[in-house]
């Protein structure tokens, strides 16, 4: 068994998960991931989609050519690998989609976001796949800001909104690795068939921490203009739901209220903003400078040494 600390949960996994840092905790495992025979379908599902179905206590996800994954209760993940799947294929979907579902089931607020630490707080960047979350986090890591989480961001509200680091390496496309001059830190491909790679962050922080600010990434498509714009609470709530790791799943699980409450708290404690910027690498330096000015303005400070 390999042991990992993912989103403050101790996870025992039968296979090695590349791109993950080993557990630092001596607590017994709260989640077990192991190989098993997983059915094609579930009996009496309460929700069905083309690739997944759900009963009251089980969640089945089929990734064609990779595996069938079954979440049992909220503490066990079983996987049934396809003949063509490599360990890397299994690992990326286990750590991504499947763990994301498990976090949803455990009642976390799960955001589609990457985060770095500024001062004592986590700064989140959310957006759809391809919006540039990981690239901004990597560029900030290059400036010394520790990476907290990449792609999936687990948050609890008790009562302060707290981010739980994912214990993962960054995942970047070849193009971003080259543009950010991070080739020396690039490791194996997340899947042999695609040109996205695990990248060792220059600095990382593995301790839970409060949220300092959330930025939703967007391009300056009219009427949006370049800059940082604070969202009023009602818009922030809609924005947070839109940037849930999987919004439809939130609705299916009856958790829309949880996200609304979280958004209200985050909007008042931290602030939810649009970060409207050109998505090209040439604009990155300017974007980072405007972020640092914004952190000074909202009192986050804490430039890395």
Contact flag: residue 262 with other proteins (CB under 8 A):
no
Q: Stretches 12-20, 91-99, 160-168, 206-214: which one binds other proteins (CB under 8 A)?
A: 91-99
Using CB under 8 A, which of the segments 11-19, 95-103, 156-164, 205-213 binds other proteins? 95-103
Cβ proximity to other proteins, 123 vs 131, nearer residue: 131
Whether 143 contacts 137, CB under 8 Å: no
Identify which of residues 24 and 193 has a Cβ nearer to other proteins in the complex. Answer: 193
CB of 51 to other proteins, least distance (A): 4
Is the CB of residue 197 less than 8 Å from the CB of residue 174? yes
Residue 69, φ and ψ in degrees, nearest 5: -120, 135
For helices 133-142 and 284-297, give the axis angle rounded to 10 degrees: 80
DSSP 156-172: EESSSEEEE---B-EEE
Question: In which order are the strands placed within the sheet that holds 2-6?
Answer: 2-6, 9-13, 31-35, 76-81, 67-72, 58-63, 52-54, 47-48
195 counts as binding other proteins under rule CB under 8 A: yes
Yes or no: say if 95 and 11 are a contact pair by the CB < 8 Å rule. no
- Judged by CB under 8 A, the residue of 24, 35, 51, 268 near other proteins is 51
89 vs 205, beta carbon nearer other proteins = 89
Under the binding rule (CB under 8 A), the answer on residue 246 touching other proteins is yes
Residue selected from 12, 18, 143, 196 as contacting other proteins according to rule CB under 8 A: 196
> Contacting other proteins (CB under 8 A), which of 22, 49, 120, 234?
49
Q: Is 211 helix (H, G, I), strand (E, B) or coil?
A: strand
CA angle 96, 101, 105 (to 5 degrees): 150
C-alpha distance across the termini of the chain, in Å: 38
Nearest to 275 by CA among 94, 155, 137, 177: 137
> Residue 104: what are its φ and ψ, rounded to 5°?
-55, -45
**Contact window for other proteins (CB under 8 A) among 21-29, 92-100, 141-149, 161-169:** 92-100
Q: Record the tokens describing residue 192, joined without a space.
A: 């042999």
Regarding 79 and contact with other proteins (CB under 8 A), the answer is: no
Residue in 150, 146, 154 with CA at minimum distance from that of residue 133: 150
Give me the 197-216 binding string for other proteins, x by CB under 8 A, dash otherwise: --------------------
Cβ nearer to other proteins, comparing 107 with 227: 227
Contact with other proteins (CB under 8 A): which of 20, 68, 277, 294?
277
122-161 mask for other proteins (x: CB under 8 A)?
------xxxx------------------------------
> Tokens in use for 90?
């299994």
Where do contacts with other proteins occur on this chain (CB under 8 A)?
A: 49-52, 61, 63-65, 92-93, 96-97, 100-101, 128-131, 173-176, 190-191, 193-196, 219-224, 226, 246-249, 277-278, 283
């Amino acid at each position: 068994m390999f042991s990992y600390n993912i989103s403050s949960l101790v996870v025992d996994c039968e296979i090695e998960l590349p791109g993950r840092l080993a557990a630092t905790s001596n607590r017994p495992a709260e989640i077990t991931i192991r190989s098993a025979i997983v059915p094609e379908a579930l009996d009496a599902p309460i929700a069905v989609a083309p690739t997944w179905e759900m009963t009251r206590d089980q969640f089945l996800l089929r990734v064609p050519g990779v595996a069938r994954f079954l979440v049992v209760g909220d503490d066990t993940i079983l996987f049934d690998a396809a003949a063509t799947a490599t360990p890397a294929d299994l690992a990326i979907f286990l750590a991504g989609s499947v763990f994301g579902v498990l976090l949803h089931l455990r009642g976390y607020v799960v955001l589609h976001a990457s985060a770095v630490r500024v001062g004592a707080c986590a700064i989140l960047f959310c957006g759809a796949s391809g919006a540039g979350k990981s690239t901004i986090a990597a560029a900030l890591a290059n400036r010394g800001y520790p990476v907290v989480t990449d792609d999936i961001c687990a948050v609890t509200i008790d009562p302060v909104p707290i981010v739980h680091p994912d214990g993962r390496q960054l995942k970047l496309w070849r193009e971003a690795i080259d543009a950010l001059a991070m080739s020396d830190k690039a490791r194996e491909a997340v899947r042999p068939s695609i040109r996205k790679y695990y990248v060792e962050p220059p600095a990382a922080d593995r301790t839970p921490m409060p949220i300092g600010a959330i930025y939703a990434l967007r391009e300056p498509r009219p009427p949006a203009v370049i800059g940082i714009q604070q969202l009023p609470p009602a818009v922030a709530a809609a924005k947070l739901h839109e940037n849930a790791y999987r919004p439809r799943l939130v609705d299916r699980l009856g958790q829309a209220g949880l996200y609304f409450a979280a958004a209200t708290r985050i909007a008042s404690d931290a602030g939810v903003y649009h970060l409207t910027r050109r998505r090209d690498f040439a604009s990155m330096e300017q974007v980072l400078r405007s972020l640092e000015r914004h952190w000074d303005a909202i009192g986050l400070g804490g430039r890395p040494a």
